[in-house]
């Protein structure tokens, strides 16, 4: 019998990669990198052999989609930030049977989901950045779920999360489940970026205050309260990918029946106008 051994909401900001290179940004995201390495350490200590990433950089316009390739290999340059992420080589093993099972379970529940084994279907950087830091030896198998859902409702993402948990339980996988996306996500307007030191600041004080309240609710275990505000939070604070990764995460954890308390690993930090954090949620 499989299980989710650890779950987390994590950042994937591209400056984490630049933080490890010589230059003016060297060391700038060390606490976020250290946080992800600690999450990976805990997951391995709990027996994790697979990572399921809910990726808010994989945009889909119809249905829900899972990249279930048996093998991933490529060299990635971001179309969004080619000056931040370029020539990032990667190679990981996948777990097609788990991706197929998740899609089947979700579709049975009325949420149309497709699992793909297409060699030319690449991974997006919402998966690649955290895997660079959390899976450097590629010992954990990878399944990537699209979580930038443009015409979908959050309840369907909750149901997909439930299907993820059910499929994992019926598998032989020990899974680290990662919701890869920001908190608030209002990127600085282009003409304001440089004047506001945009790489290291948040674009709206309102968003920062709501982010801090959300983190407080998570740390106090007031998940049911947070879920009541999730649709408005995603809307008014421009949640990344519509915060479908977050709905999937809590769907997998039990939604408003989940009584665990989030643990902030490292610090909350702004990046390019957005709010970022690494938060672990214990699995009950």
Q: What residue ranges define each of the domains in the chain, with the CATH number in brackets?
A: 3-281 (3.40.830.10)
Cα 75 to Cα 17: distance, rounded to the nearest angstrom: 15
Neighbouring C-alpha atoms within 13 Å toward the C-beta of 165? 18
pLDDT of residue 104: 98
- List CB contacts of 206: < 8 A, sequence separation 6 or more: 236, 237
Q: Is the pLDDT of residue 2 over 90?
A: yes
Over residues 64-76, the mean pLDDT reads 98
The 10 Å CB-count burial string (b at 16+, else e) for 192-227 is: ebeeeebbebbbbeebbebbeebbebbeebbbeebb
Task: Look over the chain and give the mean of its residue pLDDT values, rounded to a whole number.
Answer: 97
CA separation, residue 206 to residues 32, 185, 202, 246, 274 (Å): 23, 12, 10, 20, 12
Percent of the chain surpassing pLDDT 90: 99
pLDDT tens digits for 172-201?
999 999 999 999 999 999 999 999 999 999
pLDDT of residue 284: 82
Confidence label for 64 from pLDDT (cuts 50, 70 and 90): very high
Cα 205 to Cα 222: distance, rounded to the nearest angstrom: 23
Percent of the chain surpassing pLDDT 70: 100
> If residue 145 lies in a helix (H) or strand (E), which one and from where to where?
strand 141-149
pLDDT tens digits for 257-281?
999 999 999 999 999 999 999 999 9
Confidence label for 26 from pLDDT (cuts 50, 70 and 90): very high
pLDDT tens digits for 129-146?
999 999 999 999 999 999
Q: Is the pLDDT of residue 163 over 90?
A: yes
């Amino acid at each position: 019998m499989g299980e989710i051994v650890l779950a987390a909401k994590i950042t994937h900001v591209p400056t984490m990669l630049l933080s490890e290179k010589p230059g003016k940004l060297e060391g700038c995201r060390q606490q976020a990198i250290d946080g992800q390495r600690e999450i990976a350490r805990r997951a391995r200590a709990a027996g994790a052999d697979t990572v399921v990433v809910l990726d808010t950089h994989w945009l889909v316009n119809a249905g829900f989609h899972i990249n279930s390739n048996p093998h991933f290999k490529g060299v990635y340059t971001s179309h969004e930030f080619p000056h931040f992420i370029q020539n990032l080589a990667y190679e990981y093993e996948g777990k097609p049977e788990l991706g197929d099972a998740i899609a089947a379970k979700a579709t049975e529940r009325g949420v149309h989901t497709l699992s793909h084994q297409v060699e030319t279907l690449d991974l997006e950087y919402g998966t690649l950045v955290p895997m660079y830091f959390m899976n450097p030896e590629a010992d954990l198998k990878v399944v990537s779920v699209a979580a930038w859902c443009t015409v979908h409702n959050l309840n369907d993402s909750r149901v997909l999360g439930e299907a993820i948990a059910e499929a994992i339980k019926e598998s032989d996988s020990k899974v680290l489940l990662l919701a890869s996306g920001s908190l608030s996500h209002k990127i600085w307007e282009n003409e304001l970026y440089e004047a506001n030191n945009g790489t290291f600041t948040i674009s709206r004080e309102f968003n920062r205050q709501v982010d801090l309240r959300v983190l407080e609710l998570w740390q106090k275990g007031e998940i049911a309260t947070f879920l009541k505000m999730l649709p408005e939070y995603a809307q008014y604070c421009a949640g990344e990918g519509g915060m479908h990764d977050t709905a999937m995460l809590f769907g997998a954890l039990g939604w408003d029946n989940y009584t665990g308390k989030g643990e902030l690993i490292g610090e909350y930090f702004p990046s390019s106008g957005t709010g970022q954090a690494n938060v672990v949620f214990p699995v009950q």
